[in-house]
């Protein structure tokens, strides 16, 4: 059996790669035009490639100075449990540390898929309630 060789590349996923991973991990369907606009307005992104196929992704949105949001960290199910999510998050956090405003704080947020809280805690993310709570609204 051949061990998979992975490469992490600094680039955004294409719209098709984004849609494929999004749907493969069970996040539902996504509109291609909306996905393209979202990716085009991102700050930074990485993909993980195995045998010329994108099997993982992650990106950052935000203002590039004070507020950063980690988005779309996803690994194809057949490639999970190989440390790829950790590599992606480390690369994203390195980007933020290097580019945040030199004299200020960087606030980094994310929403974890159900059951993945512990994964993100290893990077210093934690639940700050009751002092602060994460809230969202969705317009459909």
| Per-domain residue ranges of the chain | 6-121
pLDDT of residue 3: 67
d(CA 21, CA 72): 9
Q: Are 88 and 46 in contact (CB under 8 A)?
A: yes
pLDDT at 110: 79
- The sign one gets for the Cα dihedral 6, 8, 9, 15 is positive
- Tell me the average confidence (pLDDT) per consecutive run of 10 residues in the chain, 140 residues long: 81 97 93 96 97 96 93 95 95 93 85 70 72 70
Its pTM stands at 0.85
Neighbours of 14 (CB within 10 A): 15
Strand order in the sheet with 53-62: 6-10, 44-50, 53-62, 67-75, 107-109
User: pLDDT value at position 128?
Assistant: 66
**Are the beta carbons of 74 and 22 closer than 8 angstroms?**
yes
Homologous superfamily of 6-121: Gcn5-related N-acetyltransferase (GNAT) (3.40.630.30)
Q: What token pair was written down for 82?
A: 């190989």
Do the strands 67-75 and 44-50 form a parallel or antiparallel pair, or are they unpaired? Answer: unpaired
């Amino acid at each position: 059996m051949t061990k998979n060789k992975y490469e992490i590349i600094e680039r955004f996923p294409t719209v098709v790669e984004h849609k494929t991973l999004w749907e493969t991990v069970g996040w539902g369907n996504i509109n291609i035009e909306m996905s393209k606009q979202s990716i085009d307005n991102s700050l930074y992104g990485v993909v993980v490639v195995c045998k010329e196929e994108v099997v993982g992704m992650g990106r950052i949105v935000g203002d590039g100075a004070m507020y950063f949001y980690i988005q779309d960290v996803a690994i194809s199910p057949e490639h999970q449990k190989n440390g790829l999510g950790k590599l992606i998050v480390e690369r994203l956090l390195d980007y933020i540390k290097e580019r945040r405003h030199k004299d200020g704080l960087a606030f980094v947020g994310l929403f974890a898929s159900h059951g993945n809280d512990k994964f993100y805690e290893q990077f210093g993310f934690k639940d700050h309630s009751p002092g602060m709570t994460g809230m969202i609204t969705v317009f459909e």
